[in-house]
Chains A and B, each alone.
Chain A
């Protein structure tokens, strides 16, 4: 494998969990909900996935368990913010803290145990093509899932009635309610979808990236995913580009460290956040383009009239 192949491969593996977690959060935010609990849902996905795969020996059961772990956390968030109308920011932070603590507790017996790695797809002949074969046709299955999900979400939001309803609910929940749409049900569904993809992102970490359980193994990726959604101005295409950009920056940091370049690693690991702040600045100076996609009722609780 050539050096360039190795670099691109590591970038793909670094970017995929970001893309998975962010594409779900994009749908959640398009429906008008701000879930800051991605990190907590991801880490719960990671520990559930690892535990289930270790116990059963099947990586795919692990993936399923990770999805369920993420969904469970997101439904807790949904119940608190949609049914009990708690503050979404505070609840999201609580979900993150709860997820980090709970996953440590669940995972305490699994530290240092060997994991099960999700096998790479290997299409005979195609994956042996020079240069691109391994990169395009020989990845692990979740890479294809992440790309498929991005395309599906882009299509859903732009061309389907479901997508229209999600956008309407995120634009103005009072108007959507007045027209007879079930705002809270739509938001629950979006939150659960966000939980599922965050769980999947967690599974990617504990079943593909480093097939073992390490406490706090998400290492802030949930926050980068959250930043990514804003960076993308809520557009799936830009989101995918941003995920690979941020993943690339992340890997660049590691290489820079390994090669002993004089760049402090903290500087490089802060780049995604700096990029997000710059994106926010650009958005606020040229709002016409991005505001169309910005969910106007983002983060506001909805209480229907009696």
Chain B
């Protein structure tokens, strides 16, 4: 190891010099210089759209730089394509896995390996390698049956089979429980101890401080700082990333809770989709002025629960669901909206908004049947009130800081964060008495996330009942008065946010509450 690090002073494993990538007029990476050394975890930090993915894709051969050079072990090279990168010894674990759900683990890995590595008993090698690194995997399991954490292990094991010298990880902990994240860190520490280098992309500053040796920070495509994460604080790192101090979300304690506005008792629900999760005996209640946050790793029944509460999944069970003190089992989503509820789904594109429709049309889609605008937007045979839609659009744009190409742009032309602000703004503009919001700030930059979270808190303090479903623990602690955890379709009881630690939640995410009979939440 000592020898290695001495060598590294002269020739780093990978060095990029004056690397620039332009898409048309847009400069995604501007004159970046960076070196990655053997035996270290190097963090790449930045907001969404800062250019992290572009940089990494050039290293991995998925994009070609406009100008600049990449050196691998001292040699200037052109990484022609991902297969070339893998031959060099660069492995990458993507944030969104390219896995085939209906194939087994070994089939998935075999598809991604070069011919010389497919020889012999691949199942056997997968099993032994995954055990060795503490990433247990059953090679014959069907991917569709695996949790997100297990799916990530497939990608990691696939990379490890190729014995990489550099492992690139794109936001690996975004889908993990705190305990799973710790296990991953142990694997990474072991890898660097064996002489592998890791490039670790994240915006979670605490974990960067925990495992990274170097950090490079990007903002708007430019390199703003190279720092030692051990000496920085999370606050200074955040400031470097965002460029100004991050707006702190302000949440006053709320003692003024009212009646239960949203309640579910003994809900059992079988999913209508083949790989969906079955909901088991769900009990929850949200009072006026309260924010209940449901934590949990993605794919544990969150979307099914959202679908049942919004009325999109036909509810055939005999449980009682109460909305605004009315039984609402048989009601469809518009009837629920008319009772005063609003819903923000997880996928903003395709579920929350239609890509090819302009913003005013998108407003009409969720608001056409609501009776809380001064006059109805849709006047039946009299047509659609375009003038009022335009006014609403500009109000939402102003109140929620939606940046768009022109006033009534197509939804698909907005960036993820701006579209999310639009979708949230469209629902919050109604001042709903009950708000159900699934992954409110998934893939949204810190500025937009702070705005959305503040808006949600403000709404609750005006006396609305709010149910937040999120897998981001930072977000949950920022928002929640009460926290419950969902795992494998079962919901824990609700606990006051102040009584819970991250570790408690992590244990519940892993299913510690499942054995006990579930009590009525909140």
Contacts and interface: CB of A to CB of B under 8 A. Distances in A.
A219 B274 CA distance: 36
Given A164-B111, A165-B111, A180-B82, A175 B274 contact: no
Interface residues of B, number: 18
Interface in B233-279: 274-275
Interface stretch (B102-110, B213-221, B368-376, B491-499): B102-110
A171 to B, nearest CB: 4
Nearest to B113: A179
Q: Would you call the interface of chain A mostly helix, strand, loop, or mixed?
A: helix
A167 B103 contact: yes
A293 interface: yes
B56 to A, nearest CB: 15
Contacts of B83: 180
B102 A171 contact: yes
A187 B144 CA distance: 24
Chain A, interface size category, equals 20 to 34
A174 B98 CA distance: 8
Contacts of A164: 103, 107, 110-111
Interface in B93-146: 98-103, 107, 110-112, 118, 142, 144
A296 interface: yes
Nearest to A165: B111
Interface string B60-76: 00000000000000000
B102 A292 contact: yes
A296 B275 CA distance: 12
A178 interface: yes
Given A179-B98, A180-B83, A288-B274, A171 B112 contact: no
B81 interface: yes
Main secondary structure of the interface of B (DSSP, over half): loop
A172 B118 CA distance: 21
Contacts of B82: 180
Contacts of A182: none
Nearest to A291: B274
B142 A292 contact: yes
A288 B274 CA distance: 6
B146 to A, nearest CB: 14
A164 B107 CA distance: 7
A165 B99 CA distance: 13
Given A174-B98, A178-B98, A180-B82, A287 B274 contact: yes
A148 B70 CA distance: 54
Contacts of B110: 161, 164
Nearest to B94: A178
Interface string A160-172: 0100110110011
A296 B102 contact: yes
Contacts of A172: 98, 100-101
Most chain A CB atoms below 10 A, which of B98, B118, B275: B98
Contacts of A288: 274
Contact of A179 (B111, B142, B275): B111
Given A179-B111, A179-B112, A171 B274 contact: no
A135 B98 CA distance: 49
Nearest to A288: B274
B103 A171 contact: yes
A171 B101 contact: yes
A291 B102 contact: yes
Contacts of B275: 291
Interface in A134-165: 161, 164-165
Interface in A290-306: 291-294, 296
A168 B274 contact: no
Given A180-B81, A291-B274, A168 B100 contact: yes
A92 B81 CA distance: 36
Contact of B98 (A175, A287, A296): A175
B123 to A, nearest CB: 14
Contacts of A178: 98
Nearest to A289: B274
Given A180-B83, A287-B274, A292-B142, A168 B111 contact: yes
| Most chain A CB atoms below 10 A, which of B100, B101, B103, B144 | B100
Interface in A228-262: none
A178 to B, nearest CB: 5
Nearest to A287: B274
Give the residue among A168, A178, A293 with the most B Cβ atoms within 10 A.
A168
Interface in B363-407: none
B478 to A, nearest CB: 34
Contacts of B100: 167-168, 171-172, 175-176
Nearest to A283: B274
A59 to B, nearest CB: 42
B281 to A, nearest CB: 22
A293 B102 contact: yes
A180 B85 CA distance: 13
Nearest to B86: A180
Contacts of B101: 171-172, 296
Contacts of A294: 102
A293 B103 CA distance: 9
Nearest to A286: B274
A300 to B, nearest CB: 15
Interface string B351-368: 000000000000000000
Nearest to B144: A292
B480 to A, nearest CB: 35
Nearest to B81: A180
B43 to A, nearest CB: 25
A176 B83 CA distance: 13
A198 B167 CA distance: 48
A146 B348 CA distance: 49
Contacts of B103: 164, 167-168, 171
Interface string A32-66: 00000000000000000000000000000000000
Given A165-B111, A180-B83, A292-B102, 7 more contacts: A161-B110, A164-B107, A164-B110, A179-B111, A288-B274, A291-B275, A296-B101
Interface of A: 161, 164-165, 167-168, 171-172, 174-176, 178-181, 287-288, 291-294, 296
Q: Which 10 A-B pairs have the closest CB atoms?
A: A175-B98, A291-B274, A287-B274, A171-B100, A178-B98, A292-B102, A179-B112, A168-B100, A168-B111, A171-B102
26 contacts: A164-B110, A167-B100, A167-B102, A167-B103, A168-B100, A168-B107, A168-B111, A171-B101, A171-B102, A172-B98, A172-B100, A172-B101, A174-B98, A175-B99, A175-B100, A176-B100, A179-B111, A180-B81, A181-B111, A291-B102, A291-B274, A291-B275, A292-B142, A292-B144, A293-B102, A296-B102
